[in-house]
C-alpha cells in the first residue's frame, strides 16, 4: 500500500524547521544543500517543495509565530505589548542577524519591494494590531523593535516589571498627546 503523504503539512514542517537554520547561518551563509542536511532530508525533497532558497525563506516568514496565543476580549495593551516582546526576545538576535544579512547592500527601494520583507512587516503589523489595536500600531512597532534591540545590545533582559513600567509610560504619553 502506498504511503500517504500530507504534502501541505510536510511543506509547513520543513519551513518551520528551517527558521532556526536561517537564523544560525544567515541567508547568504547557507545554501539549499546545507539546509537539506540540517533538516535531515534529501536536497531533491527540499527542492520539490521549495524550488528556490527565496521560496523557502518566504515560507519560513509565513511560518513565523508572531501573533499572541489568543486574543484577549478585554486586552490590556501594555500587557499585550510586553508579552509580544518577551515572546520574541529569545530569537531576536538570530532574526536581527538574518535580516541584516538578507538585506545586505540593497537600496531602500529594493528593500521596500522585497516580498519576504513585505510579508514579515504585514504579519508583524497584524500581530501588533491584534495585541494593542490599530491606533497604537506605529508607536507599538517602534517600542517593540527599540526595546528588543536595547535589551539585546545590553546583553540582558530587564525584569518584566521594568518592561511593563516603560511600556505603560510610553503608551500613556502617546494617549496624552492625542487627546
- Kindly report, residue by residue over 4-19, the tens digit of the pLDDT: 878 899 999 999 999 9
How many CA atoms are closer than 13 Å to the CA of 157, on its beta-carbon side?
A: 15
Q: What is the pTM of this model?
A: 0.81
pLDDT of the residue at 154: 86
d(CA 95, CA 127): 17
Query: Is residue 163's pLDDT more than 70?
Result: yes
Q: What are 37-50's pLDDT values in tens digits?
A: 999 999 999 999 99
Check pLDDT > 80 for residue 63. Answer: yes
d(CA 86, CA 40): 31
Domains of the chain: 7-62 (1.10.10.60), 65-178 (no CATH)
Amino acid at each position: 500500500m502506498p504511503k500517504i503523504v500530507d504534502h501541505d503539512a510536510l511543506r509547513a514542517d520543513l519551513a518551520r524547521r528551517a527558521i532556526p537554520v536561517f537564523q544560525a547561518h544567515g541567508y547568504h551563509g547557507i545554501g539549499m544543500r546545507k539546509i537539506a542536511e540540517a533538516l535531515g532530508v534529501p536536497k531533491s525533497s527540499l527542492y520539490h517543495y521549495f524550488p528556490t532558497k527565496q521560496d523557502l525563506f518566504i515560507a519560513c516568514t509565513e511560518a513565523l509565530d508572531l501573533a499572541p496565543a489568543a486574543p484577549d476580549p478585554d486586552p490590556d495593551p501594555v500587557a499585550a505589548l510586553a508579552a509580544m516582546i518577551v515572546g520574541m526576545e529569545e530569537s531576536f538576535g538570530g532574526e536581527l542577524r538574518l535580516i541584516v544579512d538578507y538585506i545586505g547592500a540593497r537600496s531602500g527601494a529594493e528593500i521596500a519591494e522585497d516580498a519576504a520583507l513585505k510579508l514579515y512587516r504585514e504579519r508583524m503589523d497584524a500581530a501588533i494590531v491584534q495585541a494593542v489595536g490599530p491606533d497604537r500600531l506605529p508607536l507599538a512597532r517602534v517600542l517593540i523593535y527599540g526595546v528588543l534591540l536595547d535589551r539585546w545590545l545590553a546583553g540582558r533582559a530587564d525584569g518584566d516589571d521594568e518592561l511593563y513600567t516603560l511600556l505603560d509610560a510610553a503608551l500613556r504619553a502617546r494617549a496624552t498627546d492625542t487627546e
